[in-house]
C-alpha cells in the first residue's frame, strides 16, 4: 500500500480533491486501505518541507493498494542521493 499526496494551491479546489479522494475510498471498499484525509497548509509544510509555500492551501493524502513498489525504486534511490537525511 502506498500513500500519495495531492497538493491544493487554490481554496476552491479543496472540495473537489476531497470529494474525489472520498469517492476513491468508496470504490476501494473494504480492501484494507486506510481512509484518505486532509492536511492543512501548516501540516503539509511540516510533512513536506520542500513544497512551494506561496499559494498552498492544503493537501489530500490517499492510499492505493495497486501501486507496485518496483516502480518507486528508482525514485527512492535518486531521492536518497539528492536529499539530506532528516534529523
Q: What is the pLDDT of residue 87?
A: 46
**pLDDT values of the chain reduced to their tens digit, one per residue, 87 residues:** 677 788 888 888 888 888 888 888 887 776 667 888 899 999 988 988 888 778 888 888 888 766 555 555 565 555 555 555 554
Of 42, 36, 49, 50, whose CA–CA distance to 5 is shortest? 36
Q: ∠65-3-61 over CA atoms, to 5°?
A: 120
Prediction pTM value: 0.64
Sketch the domain layout of the chain as residue ranges: 2-82
Q: What is the pLDDT of residue 71?
A: 53
What secondary structure, in 3-state letters, does 1-64 show? CEEEEEEECCHHHHHHHHHHHHHHHHHHCCCCCCCCEEEEHHHHHHHCCCCCCCCCCEEEEEEE
Q: What is the pLDDT of residue 38?
A: 92
Amino acid at each position: 500500500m502506498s500513500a500519495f499526496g495531492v497538493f491544493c494551491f487554490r481554496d476552491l479546489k479543496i472540495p473537489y480533491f476531497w470529494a474525489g479522494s472520498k469517492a476513491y475510498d468508496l470504490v476501494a471498499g473494504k480492501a484494507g486501505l486506510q481512509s484518505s484525509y486532509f492536511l492543512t497548509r501548516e501540516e503539509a509544510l511540516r510533512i513536506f518541507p520542500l513544497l512551494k509555500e506561496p499559494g498552498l492551501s492544503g493537501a489530500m493524502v490517499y492510499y492505493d493498494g495497486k501501486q507496485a513498489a518496483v516502480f518507486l525504486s528508482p525514485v527512492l534511490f535518486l531521492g536518497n542521493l539528492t536529499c539530506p537525511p532528516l534529523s
